[in-house]
Structure 1
Amino acid sequence: MSTPAGTTAAIVGCGDVSLVHFEAIRALGIELVGVADVDPAGLARARQLAPDVLGFESHKELLAAVRPDVVHVTTPHDQHTQITLDLLAAGVNVIQEKPLANTLTAAHCIVEASQHTSARLGICLQNRYNNSAQALKQVLEDGELGDVLGAYASVVWTRTPDYYQAKPWRGRWQNAGGGLLINQALHTLDLLQWFLGEPTAVSGRAATLKYGDVIEVEDSATAMFTHPSTVVEGGITSTFVGSLTNTVHRPVEIEIYGTKGTATIADGLHLRFDDGRAKDLAERVVPSGGRSYWGMSHQALIEDFHGRLGDDEPFWIGAEQAMPSLRMLKEIYAQTWPDTSRHQ
């Protein structure tokens, strides 16, 4: 899908992940008409990336001066809600980075606002655009694996104290809304529920095993999710393991077990059937200055969103579609720390 001629965009929040939005906007030929950041260092960085574009100290100043077709919101988690609400109220289309919000209460506010506006909202759950994810979704819909019996997923990466000290909000409940689960593993949780259905039950625990002297939030978690099934009584289960305590980044893994074979996502899609057949699909590769584990599909999502601005239907990954993964991880927090507000 190509972007409409004359489409314009702006970026609010010019931290690390904004880089892939700058790259995608440039690659797709979308006109960037403004950037904004309340942090002077972030705004200075944006002006280095786009020296000929107007810069503003807030999203309100940007809106007062320019009217882009789409605003990309790439701020820290706790800043998502008010900015997105203001933009939607002004009738401006929004692409917002994940998570939907740092709290469930704030997330519900965005869902409500998105249902009462003509503006369109897309949430960056861009891993749904990965070649492997798209192909596996089709395999499941076509029944190639037979009846699904269960699944496994893992996100085992590394972090250092410097990662949190450079951006302290990453390690604070009030700002980030969590740690590993909401910041690193959310895409994997989203894919699990997209493939298997939103869980009907969650059992999990989170912990801070390595970075307790640096952060408030968790760096590790395990969980079992029960997904609806028309074949297995009581539903099928998926097991999740996540940690930021490893020495190196391991590939993100998702395995789905069926009565006819197994599908594995790990640096591409690998299908192994019980009759001896095998299929492998390489992942999309796009050169980027961003981190490799962000994946390669921001550009695909951004192109799709801009290309659907004239559609009558809401964008297919909106606020409501971003809620299940947020509910999953917040339930793990609720079970781990039942006497606090971390699960809200």
Structure 2
Amino acid sequence: MSSSGKIKFAIIGAGVIAPLHAGAIRAHPEAELVAVADSVKEKAQKLANEYGVPFVYEHIGQLLEQCEVDAVCVCLPSGLHGEAVIAAAEAGKHVLCEKPLDITLKSMDAMIAACRNHKVKLATVFQKRTTELAIRTRQAVQQGKLGKLVLGDAYLKYYRSPEYYRSADWRGTWEIDGGGALMNQGVHGVDIIRWIMGDVDSVFAYAAPLVRDIEVEDTAVAVVKYRNGAFGVIQGATSVNPGQEPRFEIHGEHGSIVYADSGIKLWKTADGEEPPVIAAAERRAEGSDNPHDISEDGHYMLLDDLIRAIREDREPLISGEEARKSVELILAIYESARTGKEVKLL
């Protein structure tokens, strides 16, 4: 920690999402951003200049060996998360990792084990879980206000242009992106619907690149059976023009809740309660058309939670084990789409 008692952070990866982490760290009274690393040193230097960061590195190993930090934010392409998180854990650094945790079960399990073995915290960014919309919906479901659950649907219809996929050679690849519309953009919504509805028993899916010249899917649809017996649909796309705001529909025997980024569309519960009042600042569509259009609020809240977890020696709000579940579900969807068969989750 710094002499002032602040948690000293470094950012690994200076791409599109890194400024959200940098901004959150700068805004937090108990955090200090002291280093940035990126394999393209000019990108790291640019971010460092914008946020007044003193140390810049080209290699993760150099940063971890030479710079005194307490925690790192991993903002690399998805398939590179594992190596960076494990290296940070072995160096005794706590980790805030961007979504998805990684793109394979093997890598995620190794990341989780490394952080456990070296007694550091592993937190993951799923900022939609911090919204009042998601929290109040989950509370209503858990309190039984909808009765027996029958349907839980997630509609995740984004637009990403051909230029977006050409902007970096890892985008739209199995090896580094780990998938397309579901693994990159839709993973937030997949996480939310599973968080609200509970664990998934099985899926049957179709997925393909219908409009973009990429090897992964730009369009996917899955039929889901939850372990509580309810059914559902997950639709994920980057092929929809214009992009639509993510929408979640939860139906039970005695009530229904439907909400989107712009607010609550339907709130009917067994006890007849009024819909919660959601602050105007929260009622905005994020990233459906523009990947840069993301609020910093969720990142700040999850950064704050990691700081609290470090100081209180507790689990972060979204641990590695919890973040693994959404990727496991997406991988099952991909397997079903490849094989044409229903896939059961373990």
Normalised by the size of structure 1, how large is the TM-score? 0.89
- Partners of 1:315 and 1:303 lie apart in 2 by 10
Q: Do the aligned residues in 2 keep the contact of 1:155 with 1:251 (CA within 8 Å)?
A: yes
The 5 A counterparts of 1:10-159 are: 10-29=10-29, 30-159=31-160
Code of the residue aligned with 2:230 in structure 1: it is I
- Select 1:268's aligned residue among 255, 263, 267: 263
Counterpart secondary structure, 2:200? coil
Aligned twin of 1:232: none
Q: Which moved more, 1:72-81 or 1:287-296?
A: 287-296
Aligned pair count reads: 329
Aligned twin of 2:343: none
- Partners of 1:189 and 1:281 lie apart in 2 by 25
Aligned twin of 1:342: none
- Partners of 2:126 and 2:269 lie apart in 1 by 32
The 5 A counterparts of 1:144-223 are: 144-212=145-213, 215-223=214-222
Q: 1:16 to 1:284 in 2, by over 3 A?
A: farther
- Partners of 1:162 and 1:189 lie apart in 2 by 25
- Structure 1 residues 75-129: Cα deviation after superposition (integer angstroms, max 9, x where no partner): 1112111110011111110001011112222122112223322111101122111
Q: 1:284 to 1:14 in 2, by over 3 A?
A: farther
- Structure 1 residues 12-63: Cα deviation after superposition (integer angstroms, max 9, x where no partner): 1010001110111111132111111112342132123224421011121111
How far the C-alpha of 1:66 sits from its partner, in A, is 1.7
Counterpart secondary structure, 1:200? strand
Q: Do the aligned residues in 1 keep the contact of 2:305 with 2:317 (CA within 8 Å)?
A: no
How far the C-alpha of 1:294 sits from its partner, in A, is 6.2
Code of the residue aligned with 1:334 in structure 2: it is E
Q: Do the aligned residues in 1 keep the contact of 2:121 with 2:309 (CA within 8 Å)?
A: no
Q: Which moved more, 1:330-339 or 1:121-130?
A: 330-339
Counterpart secondary structure, 1:173? coil
- Structure 1 residues 165-217: Cα deviation after superposition (integer angstroms, max 9, x where no partner): 111211111111111110010011111111111101111121110002xx111
How far the C-alpha of 1:151 sits from its partner, in A, is 1.4
Counterpart secondary structure, 2:100? coil
Q: 1:49 to 1:126 in 2, by over 3 A?
A: same
- Partners of 1:161 and 1:290 lie apart in 2 by 13
- Partners of 2:69 and 2:266 lie apart in 1 by 43
Q: 1:5 to 1:132 in 2, by over 3 A?
A: farther
Aligned twin of 2:277: 281
Aligned twin of 2:242: 248
More relative contact order, 1 or 2 (CA 8 Å, 6+ apart):
1
How far the C-alpha of 1:300 sits from its partner, in A, is 0.9
Percent of aligned positions that are identical: 28
How far the C-alpha of 1:271 sits from its partner, in A, is 4.4
- Partners of 1:217 and 1:41 lie apart in 2 by 30
Code of the residue aligned with 2:301 in structure 1: it is A
Q: Do the aligned residues in 2 keep the contact of 1:34 with 1:62 (CA within 8 Å)?
A: yes
Q: Do the aligned residues in 1 keep the contact of 2:34 with 2:53 (CA within 8 Å)?
A: no
Structure 2 gaps of 5+ residues are 341-346
- Partners of 2:197 and 2:291 lie apart in 1 by 30
Which contiguous aligned blocks of 4+ residues in structure 1 show a shift greater than 6 angstroms?
A: 286-290
- Structure 1 residues 277-313: Cα deviation after superposition (integer angstroms, max 9, x where no partner): 6414325738999733567411111111112212233
Code of the residue aligned with 1:216 in structure 2: it is E
Q: Do the aligned residues in 1 keep the contact of 2:20 with 2:296 (CA within 8 Å)?
A: no
Backbone CA RMSD of aligned residues: 2.3
- Structure 1 residues 216-262: Cα deviation after superposition (integer angstroms, max 9, x where no partner): 11101000111122xxxxx1111111211122221100110022221
Counterpart secondary structure, 1:263? strand
Structure 1 gaps of 5+ residues are 230-234, 340-344
